[in-house]
Structure 1
Amino acid sequence: MEHRIILEMGTGNDLYGHDYTKAAKRAIHDALHHSSIVMFKSLNIPHEEMRVQVTIGVQQPEQLDIAVLTAELPRGKAQVTAVKGGLDVHDAENDQTHVIATAAIEAFVPITAKDWKLS
């Protein structure tokens, strides 16, 4: 059975290019820099056994390059899903839209209860 072992959140932005993928990449990096999963080395679990689910929220999810975002994940079997979220903040005076993306990164590993016991 697979269990979620971590949930990290991050935000990223593109202030001048209106580039949703750039903002999403920055959100992924922000979330990744909040975590370090040392249990893989400690418990001798290969990173390849980890499934990584990334959910990115931006106002125009269809503009995300999912392949580029998936390539940002350094370990595990990654899957990126785009959803409507984040923020577009429009600066009418300068006719500029600032893009803010949010990311949730979940890591799952297969854990069999019989293999674990409290000491």
Structure 2
Amino acid sequence: MNDQRFIIEMGMGNDQYGQDYTKAAARAIEDAIRHSAIPMFEVTGLTHEQMRVQVTIGVQHPDRVDCAALAGKLPRGRAKVTAVFGGLDVINPDTGKTLVIASAAVEAFLPRQPG
């Protein structure tokens, strides 16, 4: 690929009660992109479809993350979500329930521009 990364945002999300790794991942992605704005599309003439978005989610059980569902919720670009081992599981000693904590790295790439 001949593209260049121009944004990387990090976020954290959790699911305190449902032990839902996809929900925690979705919240981590939202946290990462919540404060981002990309005004360059308006001034460069590039389209959002030219942007490739790579999301890496870290959780203790990557196989429990619905990566396709998360990719479908991203608002711009051609998205791919990958889950890897990371994040945290914290056990509540009183209930035995697991608090799921996910981390996210959201990267955006565009074709290299001349100059």
When normalised by structure 1's length, the TM-score is 0.92
**Shift in Å at residue 35 of structure 1?**
1.1
Output the amino acid matched with 2:47.
P
Larger Rg, first or second structure (1 or 2): 1
**Alignment length (residue pairs):** 114
CA deviations on 1:19-59 (whole Å, 9 max, x unpaired) are: 00000000111111121111111111101000000000000
Hey, what's the Cα distance between the residues in 1 that align with 2:20 and 2:34?
22
Q: Percent identity?
A: 58
Indicate conservation of the 8 Å contact 1:20/1:101, yes or no: yes
1:37-116 maps to which residues of 2 (within 5 A)? 37-112=38-113, 115-116=114-115
Residue of structure 2 in register with 1:15 after alignment: 16
Output the amino acid matched with 1:56.
I
What 5-or-longer segments of structure 1 have no aligned partner?
none
Hey, what's the Cα distance between the residues in 1 that align with 2:10 and 2:35?
8
When normalised by structure 2's length, the TM-score is 0.95
Hey, what's the Cα distance between the residues in 1 that align with 2:101 and 2:86?
9
